[in-house]
Amino acid sequence: MKFADLMPAIAFMTWQNLVMIAVGLILIILAIKKQYEPTLLLPMGFGAILVNIPFTAALTQGAGTANEVIGALDVFFKAGIVTEVFPLLIFVAIGAMIDFSPLFQRPSLLMFGAAAQFGIFFTMVLACAVGFNLSEAASIGIIGAADGPTSIIVSAQLAPQLLGPISVCAYSYMALVPIIQPPVIRLLTSKKERQMHMKVEANKKVSRATLIIFPIAITILAGLIAPSSLALLGFLMFGNLIRECGVLNSLSKTAQNELANLVTILLGITIASTMTGERFVRVDTLIIMGLGIFAFVFDTAGGVLFAKLMNMFLPASKKINPMIGACGISAFPMSARVVHGMGLKEDPTNYLLMPAVSANVAGQIGSVIVGGLILMLVPLFI
């Protein structure tokens, strides 16, 4: 009997498999030791180990032959990612977690939810320049949305072959916001600008009717303008309506906890099914990781520079601290916390948390809209 017959997993182990097992271990270490997005990086890390052992029963073996054995991860992938069910369920959970009332404190900050998506488009152009096709480039650019479920939906539709690296980048870079954003903000702002105080109506309350009408009306408005954004935005707003209606507290809590936890477990380990050595260990993956950082950096820059532009037209009493622009990404509440912390570091009496949270909530809406726009626009140009 040959060794390969007796120990096929060892005999057919490739260096790519070993690299991916190491990547899986690194993700697990980052999740546990550094607590970088542990809810996703840990299942993804473990999944990467699981799918890189040759002949793993977690993946379908002998596809198309009489001896075909269907793997559970492939079943999850087809049922949850290809159909987009998992990310959309996550959106219901996120919607139930978001309080949109900070947006009503100073609605003009909503515009940062648009400005801070600049990096997505810039990276898309850059990715085309380095040789990716339009669908792949759009999927890479969306990493800059700092929004895992949106990145998954866009790449699953436009470039499913890149789903693994894009998901890993989207989630791991989200956790790196405190490292990526501060140097970019410092580079683009003066000390005087960072010390700028902002007037906020901190005690302004929003009526219950407004908070109930908001998700319904936004869904209708967005649906009428860009129906392709409805799957993303609609599920987010549905979750929010459950939260705000006041008569479904039990469902709201379930969406925020049990649903979010269950789907997150399945989502992480299912995405890992795409992290096999032969698909992941490629030069393309490294380029995607580099471009993903570009997307984050230029999103931050877009938001900061837009704040500076707005300040040129605003009266002195309404000027915006340019750092607030960086919160227009979807990484909530991490980005708001980072900017608030930077403000306090420059001036211990400078409390930027409220406007930062407002811009960050706008970023959550902006990232979903931009995902829908990309899904609508890219097929028109292919």
Partner 1 sequence: MSIDFYKALEISGIGLACLFIFMAIFFLFIVGIDKMFPFKKEADDK
Binding positions for partner 1, 257-276, rule CB under 8 A: none
In terms of Cα–Cα distance, which of 337, 339, 327 is closest to 364? Answer: 327
Do the Cβ atoms of 301 and 118 come closer than 8 Å?
yes
Q: Taking CB under 8 A as the rule, does residue 326 contact partner 1?
A: no
Interface characters, 131-150, with partner 1 (x: CB under 8 A): xxxx--xx------------
Identity of the amino acid at 238: F
d(Cα 59, Cα 183) in Å, to the nearest integer? 42
Q: Per-residue x/- marks for partner 1, 216-245, CB under 8 A?
A: -xx--xx--xx-------------------
Q: Which is nearer to partner 1, 37 or 136 (CB)?
A: 136
d(CA 33, CA 26): 10
# binding residues, partner 1 (CB under 8 A): 48
Nearer to partner 1, 134 or 265 (CB): 134
The answer to whether residue 213 forms part of the interface with partner 1 (CB under 8 A) is yes
294 binding partner 1? (CB under 8 A): no
Cβ 129 to partner 1 shortest distance, Å: 5
Record the tokens describing residue 219, joined without a space. 């869904």
Residue by residue, what is the 3-state secondary structure of 218-286? HHHHHHHHCHHHHHHHHHHHHHHHHHHCCCCHHHHHHHHHHHHHHHHHHHHHHHHHHCCHHHHCCHHHH
Stretch that binds partner 1, among 157-165, 193-201, 265-273, 369-377 (CB under 8 A): 369-377
* Residue 258 DSSP label: I
- Interface residues with partner 1 (CB under 8 A) are 103-104, 107-108, 110-111, 113-114, 117-118, 121-122, 124-125, 127-129, 131-134, 137-138, 204-210, 213-214, 217-218, 221-222, 225-226, 362, 365-366, 369-370, 373-374, 377-378, 381
